Amino acid sequence: MLQLLLISTLPAFTLMLVAPAATHKHCKLVRELGLVALLLVRELLHHSASAACAWGGGGGGGSSNKERERERGVRIMPSKAKPEPALAAREEGEGTGAELNAAALPLLDLPELALERVLEELEPPSLAAMACVCVALRDRCSADTLWGRHVNRKWGRVLGAAARKEWEAELAARRSSGALPRPARRRSLADSLACAWPFSWITCRWLKGDAVAAEPAAATPSPLPSPATDTVAAWYRAVECGEFSFPAQVYNREDGHVGFVLSCYDAHLRYDRRTDTFTARYPPHGRKPAKEESGVQWSRVRAPPVSTPAHDLHASGCLGDLRPGDHFEIQWRKNKDFPYGWWYGVVGHQETCNANEHLCRCHEDDMVVLEFKHYAAGSRWRQTTVSRKDHREKGDETDGFYGGIRKLQTSDEISTWRKFWPVDVLN
């Protein structure tokens, strides 16, 4: 038996070795055959270990043989009929009966609130695996309320209204082009084993695999579906698996580039589960092509705080409230072909003001002094002024163009900017 199992796995391992030279269609077959081979080897090792323990536990040769004969005879003898569960419960007493009743209680027979509470405690991989159990649990585990909590918990800081709007636009485009729904995909062998085998890397391809969302074409639904495409679960899966590139903003783009210190630029981000980082694609700058940056950490990503597109001037509604010491973000771009980035600064005092908080009247002046203190005194980037009453884009091709202003309202926003403060003063 051992030799037969080993021989049966050799073709699958041989296919795995030649997989790089195979076509895409054959690669999928090779992957699934290799997976089956690994599962067979696991079973082989498990049964071999069990057999070794059973046959190698005896003492001497004669007594060992007798014990084996007795065991063989016990196996051949028919077993007695098991008592009914109710009779067994009565014979074992109240304590054991209570344990049997608790163990036999089906999950779906729990009260509605208790079942919801259980599902709320599950992490996304466990919740996705639970959806593979049956149709009833699939519907419950795909509820928007459950997955909405997971979206807010993991992605709430980087997914904004623009990302949700773009996801809905993508779904609408698929519907209009006829790409949604797509024909039901035939279940592969790995799919059939996904809910039955206790491996984390194979469990429930509903969350991790390459299955495509599809409405059931036959009366019997597939037991391993992807979530419905217009659900929050599908959105979570698309972002988690890197299938959806969403709009966000990145602090200090091209990390380490001195020209972008204390700035925040729009980009489209794609998540990489293997490294737990993002790949950012920035829009083209004039004639320069779009740039990509990989390995972007979570701390450098935020959801856009305003809905203003990167090439549009932001309407500044806070100019009348700005006082010395207030923290702000201002739009700036090198020339009018470039998109705006948001740059951090602090409101300063007028030259004629002695900076005494009791005597300062800078907030009554028509001009607002904007300071960027990470630049050295005397630098052309250190300071600029804007009008409170008639603020428009100002600047030139030499110093760039300043756009709309946004006052920072919370200490969290300010502290996030301060984390990126440069070690050395810039010139």
- pLDDT tens sequence across 87-135: 444 444 445 444 444 444 577 788 888 888 888 999 998 888 888 888 8
* pLDDT for the residue 186: 46
Share of the chain above pLDDT 90, in %: 40
Retrieve residue 281's tokens.
């694609």
Instruction: Give the chain's domain count.
Output: 1
Predicted confidence (pLDDT) at residue 204 exceeds the cutoff of 60:
no
Please report whether residue 332 resides in a domain: yes
* pLDDT for the residue 409: 92
Burial class, 226, CB count within 10 angstroms (exposed 0-12 / middle 13-18 / buried 19+): buried
Please report whether residue 46 resides in a domain: no
Please report whether residue 362 resides in a domain: yes
Please report whether residue 352 resides in a domain: yes
Q: Answer whether 39's CB lies under 8 Å from 5's CB.
A: no
* pLDDT for the residue 68: 52
* pLDDT for the residue 116: 87
Predicted confidence (pLDDT) at residue 261 exceeds the cutoff of 90:
yes
Q: Pick from 124, 283, 289: which is nearest to 203 by CA?
A: 124
Write out the residue range of the structural domain in which residue 405 sits. 326-420
Q: Higher confidence at residue 140 or residue 218?
A: 140
* pLDDT for the residue 107: 77
Predicted confidence (pLDDT) at residue 198 exceeds the cutoff of 50:
no
* pLDDT for the residue 157: 93
Distance CA 129, CA 120 (A): 14
Question: Strand (E) positions, 378-420?
Answer: 383-387, 394-396, 400-407
What amino acid is encoded at 297 in this protein? Answer: Q
Distance CA 370, CA 76 (A): 92
Collapse the DSSP code of 2 into the 3-class scheme (helix H, G, I; strand E, B; otherwise coil) and give the result. Answer: helix
Please report whether residue 29 resides in a domain: no
Query: What does the DSSP 8-state code read for residue 242?
Result: T
Q: Which residue has the tokens 């007493």?
A: 93
Question: Strand (E) positions, 258-379?
Answer: 263-272, 277-282, 291-296, 301-302, 327-333, 341-347, 367-371
* pLDDT for the residue 80: 45
Report the range out of 97-101, 132-136, 347-351, 387-391 with the highest average pLDDT: 347-351
* pLDDT for the residue 322: 94
Which of 153-157, 184-188, 281-285, 393-397 shows the lowest mean pLDDT across its residues?
Answer: 184-188
Please report whether residue 359 resides in a domain: yes
Please report whether residue 299 resides in a domain: no
Predicted confidence (pLDDT) at residue 72 exceeds the cutoff of 90:
no
Res. 47 pLDDT band, cuts 50 70 90 = low
List, for residues 154-190, the tens digit of each pLDDT value: 999 999 999 999 999 988 888 887 655 444 444 444 4
Mean model confidence pLDDT for the chain: 76
* pLDDT for the residue 30: 63
Share of the chain above pLDDT 70, in %: 65
CA 12 to chain centroid, in Å, comes to 33
Average pLDDT on 296-307 reads 95
Retrieve residue 399's tokens.
């110093």
* pLDDT for the residue 292: 93
Burial class, 203, CB count within 10 angstroms (exposed 0-12 / middle 13-18 / buried 19+): buried
* pLDDT for the residue 53: 65
Query: What does the DSSP 8-state code read for residue 313?
Result: -
**CA contacts within 13 A on the Cβ side of 38:** 14
Please report whether residue 254 resides in a domain: no
* pLDDT for the residue 238: 92
Q: Higher confidence at residue 378 or residue 225?
A: 378
Res. 249 pLDDT band, cuts 50 70 90 = very high
Query: What does the DSSP 8-state code read for residue 182?
Result: P
